[in-house]
Structures are given as structure tokens and as C-alpha cells.
Amino acid sequence: MKKLFSIFLMALVGCVPTFSQTLSEKELADLNQQVKQYDYVGPFSEGLAIMRKNNKVGFIDKTGKLAIPMDFNASDNCISPSNDLENVFNYGLLASRELGVIDKQGNVLVPKDSIKDIFFANDGDVLVVTTNTNCYVYEKGVFVSNKYPVLNFTTNEVLTINGKIVNDEDLIARGYSRFDTQFSKGKPYCGAWRNYPFIVKKNGKYGIIDRFGNELHPCISETYHFNYHLGLTFEANTFTLLNDGYEKNYPLWCDVYKNGTKVLEKISSNRTFKGLNFIKTDGTTQDQYDYWKNSFEIELPPTVKETFMFDKNGKRIEKAPFGKNFLTLNSEGELILVKKDGSPVFKDKFTVLKPVGPYYVLEFYNDVRPRLLNENGDTVMVANLKIARYVDDGTISFNDLRKYSNIETVDFPYIKNQSKQDKLATLEFHAGRMPVKPQTYDRSYFSEGLINVKIDGVWCYMNNQGKGLPKKH
């Protein structure tokens, strides 16, 4: 019986509790009565909110009472609305350069003065904290290792194989070589847009695996200058120059592989556009071509001058379907959206085309703001690309996006695990349709049904229905 109870208790401890309970009108009034004494109160996370009084910092619960005493020192600038996205608990831990790593009981797990770097990886599920002498790795709030994990600095992902966070020693045990010391300080790194690839080395050759250890590109390459998209590996041929005492690699051309087989050879290494179902490469200009020849006696292959589109198999294509329309190239090598009959959907040229979920974000020469493009060829103006994420995750419809075209805040937040009701309230708040206007709350957001706002010099909370403010508001 004791064994069964222990298993049940462990299951309860391992569960992540929810903290989205709605406060009654009286409970919210009592909370605001309590917090008006503080110089600042932050957003709630896992039932707690940071507070500051006379440069002393602690945490309150939803009754407004101190849950963690004011035992921490921090400056006004670091405990303020501009840091509302950082000073929060995640899986029972808060990691901050100002406070250190603390748990919800106020215990200091890593002192702030010893912290060198803080990384949040795997969508926040993994926390990596380094000091000058130690490393602390937490997974979902549980300490799992003091060995530095294999970390992709571009995508903030750690390598996890069979459910275990992997370090260099684990890679060696799997037959891979230790990285050269000059290679990203000995830690795997790869520029990636999707699938979070990691560069590995075996028998002196480089390859790519995904964040679960699955092989994407076998260890057959002499170089580690990779990129990966749509199941294709781009391997750059580079020229190294000394720049202010540092080596800098300049890409000359690249080869494209699929499952280790070369499908395109010696194409341009210029900026490529990565679409939802195709890739476009921009050909090297004649000036660039002549520069390498005249300055370094490097004759680039003539194929690098070509601008073209290709699909996920590396096959050249003339156009890529997008809903009822097609993306193709005009005579100048620019991407345009056309109808089935080949006529352009837009009269004006667009300068930027960026995938966001199943949509594209466009920027036109004559428009100050970008637009979101759907499969029907319809566009809606968006002031901030993060707002497009709310369409992608289903919070609002494509057409509803028009109601929020006036949101201009650069730091408009998109919060992981935010409830739909809180997302909608955040949109309404930044659109100016709440009793309190955004003003300086560029990064403010609703969390657990509440948002922290300042009224007449006093901090308080408003719920996601726009209620709970002092009576005169």
C-alpha cells in the first residue's frame, strides 16, 4: 500500500499544475488593496508575481500576501514592465541574472553573482545555467545534469536522444568525434530554419542530425558550413580571410543534398528565400563574380549566376502553388504571385516574403506596414509579425486580424501556454479597447486572467474582462 501511495505521490509531483483560476470581484479588490503598497508588481506566473518595494524584491500570491519574502536586491530597471517576460516562474523555477535561480519556496539554487549564462531551450522545457566552474541543467523544473548539453545556439534546442539530454561524452559513446576547439567553442552549432539540426563529426567528416539524434545528412562532408530546409542540406564552399585578426568564411557557392545524395551542384550562395514548399536562390551578380576573380584569382563556376526555384527534391520548378495562386519569378528574377492565367495578383512589387505558419508576410514598396497573405490571395495589414502568430495558432481568424491593424508596439508579446482568453484580452489591450490604454506597457500581457497596470502612480491588476480597477476607473 505504501508503494502504491508513493507512486501516486510521485505522479502528483510530476504534474504541472494550472494556475488560471478566476478571481471573484471581491478577491480582485482585496488583491489590489494589498498590492497598492508596492513600488511595482509584475504578471502572475504559476500563481506568483514578482514585487518590489524600496529596491527589495519578493513574490506575492493571488491574495496579495508575500509568498516569498523580500530577501532579494534588484534595481528599478531590472524589475519593471520592460522585463515582465523574464521575471516569471516556469516549471517551478525562476532564472534571472538579477535574482539567480530560485524555486517557489524562495530557495536560491544558483546565486546570481556566479551566473555566467542562462539558456532556455526546447520551448522552455530545458533550462541551462552556467557559471565559471559549473553547469546546471534542469528539465521541466527538475535538475538532471551538471554536464554541458549539446546546444544549438541558433534555435535554442538541446539534443535529446531516447528522452535523455545529450552531452559531448554521450556523442563520443555513440561513435561521433569530439568537436574541434575552434568550432563554436567546442559546442555543436548549426544555422537552421526548421527541424533544429545539429552538426556532428565522425572519422574527420561532418554531418547533421536532428534534435532527437536522427540522421539528416551523413558524415560525408569536409566542411561544417551547413544549412537545412525542406529536407535538403546546403553545404557551402567557402573562402577564408583574416579580418581584424579573426578568420571569416565567405561562401562562394553551395551544393545541395537530399539524404546524402547530391541533387544540385555549385549554385549561388547568395541569400536564398525559403518558402513553404520551395526554395529560391539568387544568382551571383557579374560584379560579385568579377570581384572574386580580380581580387583573389578565384573563378566561380558559371552556374552561380543562375536565379531559379526548386522543390524539396532539388528539382527545378517554374512555379510553386500557394492556394489558388502560384509563386513564380518575373523576368528580373523577383518573386511574384500570379493567378492560374499568369496575370499578377498584385500591381505593386513586394520586397519581403516570409512564411508564418501556413501564411506569408508581404512587404510592399509603397506600404509602411507588412501584410499577411492567405491562400486565396487576400491580404490583411499587420503592424507586428508576432500578431500573425495568433492567426496561425487559431486564436483569431484571418479576417479578425483587421480589428488589430492599429497595434504598433514593436515588443508586442507572444506568450507560450497563454490561454485563448488571455491572448484575446492581450490583443484588445494593445488595440486600446480596454479601460487602461497601453501607454508604456509595450510588453504587457494577460497571464492567469490578470494584467498588471499602473493607475495614478499606483500598481494594480485588471482581469481579462477589463474589470477590477479602482472604482473611479
Kindly state the cell numbers that stand for 62: 493571488
Q: Cβ(65)–Cβ(57) under 8 Å?
A: no
What is the per-residue DSSP string for 299-326? ---GGGG--EEE-TTS-EESEEEETTEE
Neighbour tally for 278: CB within 10 Å: 20
Cα–Cα distance for residue pair 7/281, rounded to 1 Å: 56
Cα–Cα distance for residue pair 223/116, rounded to 1 Å: 31
Rounded-to-5 percentages of helix, strand, coil across the chain:
15, 40, 45
pLDDT recorded at residue 20:
56
Cα–Cα distance for residue pair 200/180, rounded to 1 Å: 11
Cα–Cα distance for residue pair 204/214, rounded to 1 Å: 19
Of 260, 209, 256, 264, the closest CA to residue 236 belongs to 256
Q: What is the 3-state secondary structure (H, E, C) of 383-426?
A: CCHHHHHHHHCCCCCCHHHHHHCCCCCCCCCCCCCCCHHHHHHH
**pLDDT tens-place values along the chain, 473 residues long:** 434 333 333 333 444 445 556 899 999 999 999 999 999 999 999 999 999 998 899 999 999 999 999 988 877 667 766 676 678 899 999 998 889 999 999 999 999 999 998 989 888 899 999 998 999 999 999 999 999 888 877 778 888 989 899 888 888 888 888 755 444 443 444 433 344 578 888 998 989 888 898 999 999 998 888 888 899 999 999 888 877 777 788 889 999 999 999 999 999 987 678 888 999 999 999 999 999 999 999 999 999 999 999 999 999 999 999 999 999 999 999 999 999 999 999 888 887 788 888 888 888 877 777 889 988 889 888 877 778 888 888 899 998 988 888 887 656 777 778 899 999 999 999 888 998 876 655 678 999 999 999 888 899 999 999 998 877 64
> From residue 50, how far is each of 104, 285, 373 by CA, in Å?
11, 55, 40
Cα–Cα distance for residue pair 50/270, rounded to 1 Å: 47
pLDDT recorded at residue 37:
93
Residue 33: phi, psi to the nearest 5?
A: -65, -35
Long-range contacts of the stretch 135-139 (C-beta < 8 A, 24+):
136/101, 136/109, 136/110, 137/165, 138/91, 138/93, 139/165
pLDDT recorded at residue 55:
84
Q: Cβ(282)–Cβ(272) under 8 Å?
A: yes
Q: How many residues does the chain have?
A: 473
pLDDT recorded at residue 24:
93
pLDDT recorded at residue 226:
85
State the number of CA atoms in the 13 A half-sphere of 345 facing the CB.
23
Residue 141: phi, psi to the nearest 5?
A: 85, 0
Report the predicted TM-score, pTM, of the whole model to 2 decimal places.
Answer: 0.83
